Amino acid sequence: MKNLKIGNNKGFTLIELLVVIAIIGVLMGLVVIVIDPATILKRSRQGVAKANVARVCEAMIACYSAQNDMEDCDTADEIGVTTQGGVTVDATTNTAYKTQDTCKFTCDPTANPPMSKDPDPAATGVCYVD
């Protein structure tokens, strides 16, 4: 029987290429599972919310230190901040707060420490940011 040789058989077969693509797909799936993008997004949103409340809190503390009266520092206009980022300044309790996902970040300038973090009672889940 003659050995049929057609051209130069250098390269990979279709089966070999498909196996490599399948292995790469499995590895990519494992990486996505390990990274967990949903948790990372929640942590980042909670971190931004905490930073926004902290900025408003610092402004409230500065206003309170200058005025020595919380009645003059209980609205966003009086403390000189905008409420972008969804931070609410509550004039009845003299606090600022923001609820993000499952966390409620609160600032009370008369408390020590002024910033606190509580789980939102209406939500279930984890509060990631300390």
Q: What is the pLDDT along the chain (130 residues), one digit of tens a residue?
A: 566 566 666 888 999 999 999 999 999 999 988 888 888 888 888 888 888 888 888 888 888 888 877 777 777 777 777 766 778 888 778 788 887 777 788 888 878 888 888 766 566 566 776 6
Six token digits for residue 94: 């003299």
Six token digits for residue 17: 């290429």
Q: Is residue 1 part of a domain?
A: no
Q: Is residue 19 part of a domain?
A: no
- Residue 128's nearest CA partner among 87, 119, 56, 115 is 119
Q: Is residue 21 part of a domain?
A: no
Structural domain boundaries, residue 52:
36-119
Coil, helix or strand at residue 11: coil
Q: How far apart are CA 89 and CA 93, in angstroms?
A: 9
Q: Is residue 17 part of a domain?
A: no
> pTM for the complete prediction?
0.67
Q: Is residue 87 part of a domain?
A: yes
Six token digits for residue 2: 């003659």
Q: Is residue 75 part of a domain?
A: yes
Chain centroid to CA 107:
19
Q: Is residue 4 part of a domain?
A: no
**Number of domains into which the chain is organized:** 1
